[in-house]
Amino acid sequence: MSIRKIIIDTDPGQDDAVAILLALASPEDLDVLGVVAVAGNVPLSLTQRNARIVCELAGKTDVPVFAGCDKPLKHTLVTAEHVHGKTGLDGPQLDDPTMPLQDQHGVDFIIDTLRSQPSGTVTLCPLGPLTNIATAFQRAPDIIERVQEIVIMGGGFFEGGNITPAAEFNIYVDPEAADIVFRAGAPLVVMPLDVTHKALTTPAHVAAFRGMDTNVGHMVAAWTDFFERFDKEKYGSEGAPLHDPCVIAYLIQPDLFAGRHINVEIETQSDLTRGMTVADWWGVSGRAPNALFMRDVDADAFFGLLAERLSRLA
Question: Which residues lie near ligand RIB (CB under 6 A)?
Answer: 11, 13, 15-16, 40-41, 127-128, 153, 162, 168-170, 243-244
CB of 170 to Ca ion, least distance (A): 6
Annotated active-site positions, please?
243
| Identity of the residue, 25 or 39, whose beta carbon is nearer to Ca ion in the bound complex | 39
What is the H or E stretch that residue 255 is in? none
Q: If DSSP codes are grouped into helix, strand and coil, which group holds residue 224? A: helix
CB of 141 to ligand RIB, least distance (A): 26
| Identity of the residue, 46 or 153, whose beta carbon is nearer to ligand RIB in the bound complex | 153
Binding partner selected for residue 169 from ligand RIB, Ca ion, none, CB under the kind-specific 5 to 8 Å limit: ligand RIB
CB of 69 to ligand RIB, least distance (A): 14
Quote the CA–CA distance of 149 and 251 in Å, as a whole number.
Answer: 10
Quote the CA–CA distance of 15 and 80 in Å, as a whole number.
Answer: 13
CB of 67 to ligand RIB, least distance (A): 16
Q: How far is CA 154 from CA 56, 81, 127, 173, 248, in A?
A: 26, 18, 8, 11, 14
| Identity of the residue, 39 or 111, whose beta carbon is nearer to Ca ion in the bound complex | 39
**Cβ atoms of 5 and 33 closer than 8 Å:** yes
Binding partner selected for residue 30 from ligand RIB, Ca ion, none, CB under the kind-specific 5 to 8 Å limit: none
**Cβ atoms of 242 and 198 closer than 8 Å:** no
Q: How far is CA 206 from CA 54, 210, 308, in A?
A: 19, 6, 14
**164 — phi, psi (to 5°)?**
-135, 170
| Identity of the residue, 114 or 240, whose beta carbon is nearer to ligand RIB in the bound complex | 240
Q: If DSSP codes are grouped into helix, strand and coil, which group holds residue 269? A: coil
Quote the CA–CA distance of 196 and 96 in Å, as a whole number.
Answer: 30
Binding partner selected for residue 201 from ligand RIB, Ca ion, none, CB under the kind-specific 5 to 8 Å limit: none
| Identity of the residue, 169 or 223, whose beta carbon is nearer to ligand RIB in the bound complex | 169
CB of 117 to ligand RIB, least distance (A): 25
Binding partner selected for residue 168 from Ca ion, ligand RIB, none, CB under the kind-specific 5 to 8 Å limit: ligand RIB
Among 137, 178, 176, smallest CA distance to 156 is for: 178
Burial of 278 per CB tally in 10 Å (0-12, 13-18, 19+): middle
Binding partner selected for residue 290 from ligand RIB, Ca ion, none, CB under the kind-specific 5 to 8 Å limit: none
Indicate the residue type of 251: L
CB of 145 to ligand RIB, least distance (A): 27
Binding partner selected for residue 162 from ligand RIB, Ca ion, none, CB under the kind-specific 5 to 8 Å limit: ligand RIB
In the DSSP assignment, the letter for residue 162 is S
Quote the CA–CA distance of 305 and 249 in Å, as a whole number.
Answer: 8
| Identity of the residue, 79 or 263, whose beta carbon is nearer to Ca ion in the bound complex | 79
**Cβ atoms of 233 and 227 closer than 8 Å:** no
